[in-house]
Amino acid sequence: MGVFDESVSVFLEPIRGFLEDDTVSEVMVNGPGEVFVERRGLLEKTAARFTDEQALLAAVRNIAQFVGRRIDDENPMLDARLPDGSRVAAVIPPCSRRGTTLSIRKFSRSSPTFVDLIERGSLSKDAARFLDVCVYLARNVIVSGGTGSGKTTFLNVLGSRIPGKQRLLVIEDSSELKIRTEHVLFFETRNADPMGKGEVTIRDLLRSALRLRPDRIVVGEVRGPEALDLITAMNTGHGGSMGTTHANTPYDALSRLETLAMMGETQIPPSAIRRQIASAVQIVVQCRRFNDGSRKVTHVSEVVPELDGQDRYQLRDIYRFVQQGRSADGKVVGEILPTGYIPSFMDEIELNRLPFAREKFLAPK
């Protein structure tokens, strides 16, 4: 548990083994007497427990002090990043009615690739190659999905496929992405100090990033009015930009971006924002965590630039996950297959002599 010094580790002794176990991706403490862990996408209840509420509260306060934050009656919530990139979230009573709640989402030491996703069954070879083509051709991509569906992992993979000669700026609320490419810069937001000063938001960083001559911009998670700035950047010469957002379907992802873009003090009519989003976002990748713990890409969809007659977004699924059943051990059986729709930029693929033939989009018989 090298991320904490010994002064903190001693307070976390009941969960030390889980923090050192590479098969555990998250540790969740629901009060002193209940500890869950996540392994391979599934939750497990453990026999671990803290002595009492005071012992757990002391552990959380020591973590807060370790990362330069404070958690007390005036600030009952903690959301912080550890030096190794792991995420810590905590809520203390009376806001947390069952006792202090703590979650430690561990930072993955590995850097996933398309090969890893294919071997896990998250994606097919053809779908991976097509997304590689989209990155090369600088299509703007939004990765959407629920919490824990693998959005950040997928964005890591896509971002690492960006050509090394292009200048990439990565902006996050808490630094999680490990995009590996030749020319990349990472920016992270900053909370206000105890006097309420010094806050730096994603929107602030996005505006500064546009002055730093980026070829592409990646926003780790779009969750506020910065959606409008990202959409504007996508529409003004920063092709191949990316971001993630929480949504259950590709259409919902666009609707959420629209809602977020209107959260600021903008006077732009909703219809104009809708047209900007339809023009800016070209590909939506939908991720989902199934109840067997597996994470899969369920949709790769193209956004048609024009709205329909009812001012609704138009999407065309290029690949869609088809579940075929379950195995004897309860695992989801299925694959992501082409739908037969040929993307509108097929001519561009052929002009660049990229090895992806039209036949690849034919739906299986």
* pLDDT for residue 66: 87
CA-to-CA separations, 212 to 66, 166, 168, 222, 235, in angstroms, rounded? 33, 13, 10, 20, 17
What's the CATH number of domain 6-105, 3.40.50.720, 3.30.450.90, 3.40.50.970, 3.10.105.10?
A: 3.30.450.90
* pLDDT for residue 2: 55
Instruction: Kindly tell me if the per-residue pLDDT of 291 is higher than 60.
Output: yes
* pLDDT for residue 6: 67
pLDDT grade for 14, boundaries at 50, 70 and 90: very high
Asked if 261 and 228 count as a contact pair (C-beta separation under 8 A), the reply is yes
* Residue range 322-343: mean pLDDT, rounded: 93
Q: What is the pTM of this model?
A: 0.87
* pLDDT for residue 236: 87
In the chain, ranges of CATH 3.40.50.300 domains:
114-361
Percent of the chain with pLDDT over 70: 98
> Which residue shows structure tokens 């505006």?
207
For the stretch 238-259, what's the b/e string if a residue is b when 16 or more beta carbons lie within 10 angstroms of its beta carbon? bbbbbbbbbbebbbebbbbbbe
CA-to-CA separations, 89 to 92, 112, 174, 202, 314, in angstroms, rounded? 10, 25, 12, 19, 38
* pLDDT for residue 3: 61
Instruction: Kindly tell me if the per-residue pLDDT of 4 is higher than 70.
Output: no
What's the CATH number of domain 114-361, 3.30.300.30, 3.40.50.300, 3.40.710.10, 3.40.190.10?
A: 3.40.50.300
In the chain, ranges of CATH 3.30.450.90 domains:
6-105
Condensed to tens digits (0 to 9), the pLDDT of residues 207-230 reads 999 999 999 999 989 999 999 999
Cis preceding-peptide flag for 269 (omega within 30 of 0): no
